[in-house]
Amino acid sequence: MDLNQLWRIISTPDNVPIVLLMIVVPFYTWYGLSQAFANDRLVVQLEADPALAKTHHRKTQPWKPGWARDVHVWPYLLRIEFLAAIIVTLILMVWSITLNAPLEEPSNPTLTMNPAKAPWYFLGLQEMLVYFDPWIAGVVMPTLIILGLMVVPYIDENPLGNGYYTYKQRKFAIWTFIFGFIILWVSMIVIGTLIRGPGWMWFWPGTTWDHNRLEFTVNRDLPDVFGLKGRVAKIIFGAIVMGLYSVAGAIGIHKLLNLTPFARKIYKRMSLVQVVVMQVFLISMLALPLKMVARLVFRIKYVWVTPWFNV
Amino acid sequence: MPEKNGTDGPNGAAGNGSDSSSAGGNGAKKRVAVIVEGAKAVRTQATQEIKALKHPEKTDLWKSMLRVKHDETPRSRALGVLSNVFLHLHPAKINRDAVAYRYTWGMGGMTFYVYITLVFTGTLLMFYYHPSKIVAFRDILYLEHDVPFGKLLRNMHRWGAHLMVIMVELHMFRVFLTGSYKSPRQFNWVVGVILLVLTLLLSFTGYLLPDDQLGFWAVTVGTNMARATPLLGHDGPFGRQLGMTPFNDVRFGLLGGSIVDANALLRAYIWHCVAIPIIASTFMVVHFWRVRKDGGISGPAPVMLESEIKEPRKF
Ligand code: HEM
Yes or no: say if B100 and A61 are a contact pair by the CB < 8 Å rule: yes
The average pLDDT across B35-55 equals 92
| Whole-complex ipTM | 0.94
Burial class (CB in 10 A: 0-12, 13-18, 19+), A125: buried
**Residue B158 above 90 pLDDT?**
yes
Q: What is the pLDDT of residue B107?
A: 95
Q: How confident is the model at residue B314 (pLDDT cuts 50, 70, 90)?
A: low
Q: What is the pLDDT of residue A298?
A: 86
Partner B contacted by A23 (CB < 8 A): no
Collect all residues of chain B within an 8 Å Cβ-Cβ radius of residue A124: none
**Residue B200 above 90 pLDDT?**
yes
Contact B301 A163 (CB under 8 A): yes
* Nearest in space to B215 (alpha carbons), one of B260, B159, B278, B161: B260
As beta bridge partners, residue B95 has: A70
Partner B contacted by A181 (CB < 8 A): yes
Q: Whole-angstrom Cα distance, residue B121 to residue A244? A: 54
Residue A246 has a CB neighbour count (10 Å cut-off) of: 15
Contact B218 A118 (CB under 8 A): yes
**Residue B155 above 90 pLDDT?**
yes
What's the number of domains chain B is made of? 1
The average pLDDT across B195-219 equals 93
Per the model's pLDDT, the better-predicted residue between A198 and B20 turns out to be A198
Tell me if B178 is assigned to some domain. Answer: yes
Tell me if B15 is assigned to some domain. Answer: no
The alpha carbon of residue A160 is apart from the nearest alpha carbon of chain B, in Å, by 6
Per the model's pLDDT, the better-predicted residue between B276 and A65 turns out to be B276
Per-residue model confidence as pLDDT tens for chain A (311 residues): 778 888 888 888 888 899 999 999 999 999 999 999 999 999 999 999 988 888 888 998 888 888 888 888 888 889 999 999 999 999 999 999 999 998 888 888 888 887 888 888 888 888 888 899 888 988 899 999 999 999 999 999 999 999 999 999 999 999 999 999 999 999 899 998 888 888 888 888 888 888 877 777 778 888 888 888 888 988 999 899 999 999 999 999 999 999 999 999 999 899 999 999 999 999 999 999 999 988 888 888 888 888 888 88
Contact B155 A100 (CB under 8 A): yes
What are the strands, taking DSSP E only, across chain A? 70-72
Per DSSP, A72 falls in state E
CA A116 to chain centre: 23
Query: Atom 1 of ligand 1 has which residue's CA nearest to it?
Result: B195
Query: Atom 2 of ligand 1 has which residue's CA nearest to it?
Result: B195
Cβ-Cβ pairs closer than 8 A, A with B, add up to 299
Q: What residues have CB less than 8 Å from A238, skipping those under 6 apart? A: A222, A223, A302, A303, A304, A305, A306, A311
Q: Whole-angstrom Cα distance, residue A87 to residue A55? A: 40
Q: Whole-angstrom Cα distance, residue B310 to residue A157? A: 12
Ligand 1 atom nearest to B181, measured from its CA: 35
Contact B193 A165 (CB under 8 A): no
Name which of A139, A188, A269 to mutate to probe chain B: the one with the most chain B Cβ atoms within 10 A of its Cβ.
A139
Q: How confident is the model at residue B8 (pLDDT cuts 50, 70, 90)?
A: very low
* Nearest in space to A108 (alpha carbons), one of B182, B235, B133: B133
If you measure CA to CA, which chain B residue comes closest to A118? B218
CA torsion angle B230 B236 B238 B244 (round to 10): 100
Name which of B72, B95, B182 to mutate to probe chain A: the one with the most chain A Cβ atoms within 10 A of its Cβ.
B182
Tell me if B24 is assigned to some domain. Answer: no
Q: What is the pLDDT of residue B315?
A: 57
Q: Which amino acid type is present at position A226?
A: F
Average pLDDT of chain B to the nearest whole number: 87
Q: What is the pLDDT of residue A113?
A: 80
Q: At what angle do helices B276-293 and B186-208 cross, to 10 degrees?
A: 160
Q: What is the pLDDT of residue B218?
A: 87
Query: What is the best residue among B164, B182, B202, B291 to mutate for testing ligand 1's pocket, by most ligand atoms within 8 Å of CB?
Result: B291
Distance B288 CA to ligand 1 centre (A): 8
Query: Atom 12 of ligand 1 has which residue's CA nearest to it?
Result: B108
Collect all residues of chain B within an 8 Å Cβ-Cβ radius of residue A57: 302
Question: Pocket residues for ligand 1 (CB within 6 Å)?
Answer: A 149; B 104, 107-109, 111-112, 115, 168, 171-172, 175, 180-181, 185, 188-189, 192-193, 195-196, 199, 284, 287, 291, 297-298
Contact B212 A105 (CB under 8 A): yes
Tell me if B132 is assigned to some domain. Answer: yes
Tell me if B74 is assigned to some domain. Answer: no
pTM, whole model, 2 decimals?
Answer: 0.89
What's the CATH number where B115 sits? Answer: 1.20.810.10
Query: Atom 6 of ligand 1 has which residue's CA nearest to it?
Result: B108
Tell me if B267 is assigned to some domain. Answer: yes
Of B102, B190, B225, which has the smallest distance from its Cβ to A138's Cβ?
A: B225
* Nearest in space to B188 (alpha carbons), one of A154, A245, A68, A306: A154
Tell me if B239 is assigned to some domain. Answer: yes
Q: What is the pLDDT of residue A63?
A: 83
- Calculate what percentage of chain B has a pLDDT beyond 70: 91
**What's the domain range around B132?**
96-293
The alpha carbon of residue B140 is apart from the nearest alpha carbon of chain A, in Å, by 9
**Residue B168 above 80 pLDDT?**
yes
Per DSSP, A182 falls in state I
Name which of B121, B194, B217 to mutate to probe chain A: the one with the most chain A Cβ atoms within 10 A of its Cβ.
B217
Lowest mean pLDDT among B56-65, B252-261, B293-302: B56-65
Distance A311 CA to ligand 1 centre (A): 36
Residue A43 DSSP SS3: helix
The alpha carbon of residue B93 is apart from the nearest alpha carbon of chain A, in Å, by 4
Q: Whole-angstrom Cα distance, residue A215 to residue A194? A: 19
Tell me if B79 is assigned to some domain. Answer: no
Burial class (CB in 10 A: 0-12, 13-18, 19+), A277: middle
Query: Atom 29 of ligand 1 has which residue's CA nearest to it?
Result: B192
CA distance readout (Å), B246 to A194, B155, B226, B258? 34, 36, 11, 6
Lowest mean pLDDT among A9-13, B41-45, B102-106, B274-278: A9-13
